[in-house]
Amino acid sequence: MGLTTGIVGLPNVGKSTLFNAITQAGAESANYPFCTIDPNVGVVDVPDERLERLAEMVNPQRIVPTSVQFVDIAGLVKGASKGEGLGNKFLAHIREVDAIIHLVRCFEDENITHVSGKVDPASDIETINLELVLADLETVEKRLDRVARQKKSGDKLAIAEYEILTKVQEALAEGRPARSVGLTEEEKFIIKSLNLLTMKKMLYAANVSEQDVAHPEKNPHVQTVKEIAMSEGADIVTVSAQVEAEIAELDEEERKLFLAELGLETSGLDRLIAAAYRLLGLITYFTAGEKEVRAWTIREGTKAPQAAGVIHSDFERGFIRAEVVGYQDLMAAGSLVQAREKGLLRLEGKDYVVQDGDIITFRFAV
């Protein structure tokens, strides 16, 4: 299961610059609104030192990391939900992603035009969030009209959906996102097909200058974004699109030195990915053999058969058992053979919940 994130924000907040840097995909970037009209898509390997150490131990023919897909969605403006700035088209692209990264400008630069004339993170966030809410409100009201007619016939599913949509409509009308309603998993499933924008998880990314990247707490704009994120129960990551662009031009050794000079341990990309995984409750398990060592992404709480199904549907359909060893246990043992000899390799059945870092061999028959 790949993770897809959409990078949104007002025009000229640094979205395309950041996208270019982390994907090296060459998306057009320029200092004027609506530079990005069609969404640019880039796939990035998820850095994981566990995969590297596992590969050193197994010495496979190839190494396959898991990946994150970043979608650079054109700048939204006030009125986007009504079509301003080609807004409807842009909003449609957001519906396809798993999570939204809201990039907020937190740097001052008189050479880079701000669409509103001044740097004001609170106002920027309010503009974007309101457009997402208004777009969802229109979607929900259209659906309510249809469900109301079905409800009159006594259709139980229609009755349930109508009640759920009414709760969501009330929240949206008050300017609150759909995710604030506190729906049960069953209720979310019933309206899942609507793909509501404000039901998606939100991660705020405060885009700062190179001078602020090591000490973002000194930037008042970042503190504003942090307070808003905390009030919404959202996460926040500080990045510098400018720094990421410079990092993208360096080899691995040079990157480490550059980050150290800035007082950073990891790049903005690494922090974004880690935050997105936490946000969505994602974990990684591994398969290892002579042909390949590979990382797989699943949701926390996934049981062994469903984790196997991520590899191939036949694995889930014909699941027999899973041979599992934890990453730390394997590293302590020194090899898969020694892990087996020391009794660290376990046989798990259909009810086993896969843990982050598990190395698994699935046995199946179809």
User: The domain that contains 76 carries what CATH number?
Assistant: 3.40.50.300
Tell me the per-residue pLDDT of 136-195, one tens digit each, with 9 for 90 and over: 998 999 999 999 988 888 888 999 999 999 999 999 999 999 998 989 999 999 999 999
Give the pLDDT mean for 188-216.
Answer: 92
pLDDT classification of 85: cutoffs 50, 70, 90: very low
Dihedral pair phi/psi, residue 351, rounded to 5°: -95, 0
- Any known ligand binding at 14? yes
Is residue 33 over pLDDT 60? no
The answer to whether 15 is a known ligand-binding residue is yes
Q: Are 325 and 216 in the same domain?
A: no
- Residue 230 pLDDT more than 50? yes
> Tell me, what CATH number does 323's domain have?
3.10.20.30
pLDDT of residue 36: 41
Same domain, yes or no: 22 and 83? yes
Nearest to 286 by CA among 320, 247, 240, 331: 331
Do 259 and 178 share a structural domain? yes
Please say if the pLDDT value at position 84 is more than 50.
no
Q: Averaged over 274-295, what is the pLDDT?
A: 93
- 264 and 346 share one domain: no
Are residue 253 and residue 117 in the same domain, yes or no? yes
H or E, element range at 137: helix 121-151
CA dihedral 146, 149, 155, 160 (to 10 degrees): 60
Q: What is the DSSP letter of 180?
A: G
pLDDT at 103: 93
Both 144 and 73 in one domain: the answer is yes
Please tell me the predicted confidence (pLDDT) of residue 366.
Answer: 83
| Number of residues written out for the chain | 366
304 vs 35: which has the higher pLDDT: 304
Whether 173 and 273 map to the same domain: the answer is: yes
Mean of the pLDDT values across residues 95-123? 82
For residues 193 and 317, membership in a common domain is answered with no
pLDDT at 76: 55
Is residue 195 a known part of a binding site? Answer: no
Which range has highest mean pLDDT (28-32, 36-40, 90-94, 177-181)? Answer: 177-181
Q: Mean pLDDT throughout 36-57?
A: 82
Domain count, the chain: 2
pTM exceeds 0.85: no
CA distances from 303 to 68, 197, 295, 320, 350 (A): 22, 28, 17, 13, 7
By mean pLDDT, which of 22-26, 48-52, 151-155, 290-294 is the weakest?
22-26
29 and 66 in a common domain: yes
pLDDT tens digits, residue range 247-266? 888 888 898 899 999 888 88
The answer to whether residue 291 is domain-embedded is no
Amino acid at 164: I
Domain that residue 162 falls in: 3-279
| 174 shares its domain with 87 | yes
- Annotated ligand binding at 46? The verdict is no
- Digit-coded pLDDT (tens) for 10-27: 887 888 888 888 777 444
Residue 347 has pLDDT above 60, yes or no: yes
Picking from 63-67, 106-110, 236-240, which range would have the lowest pLDDT averaged per residue? 106-110
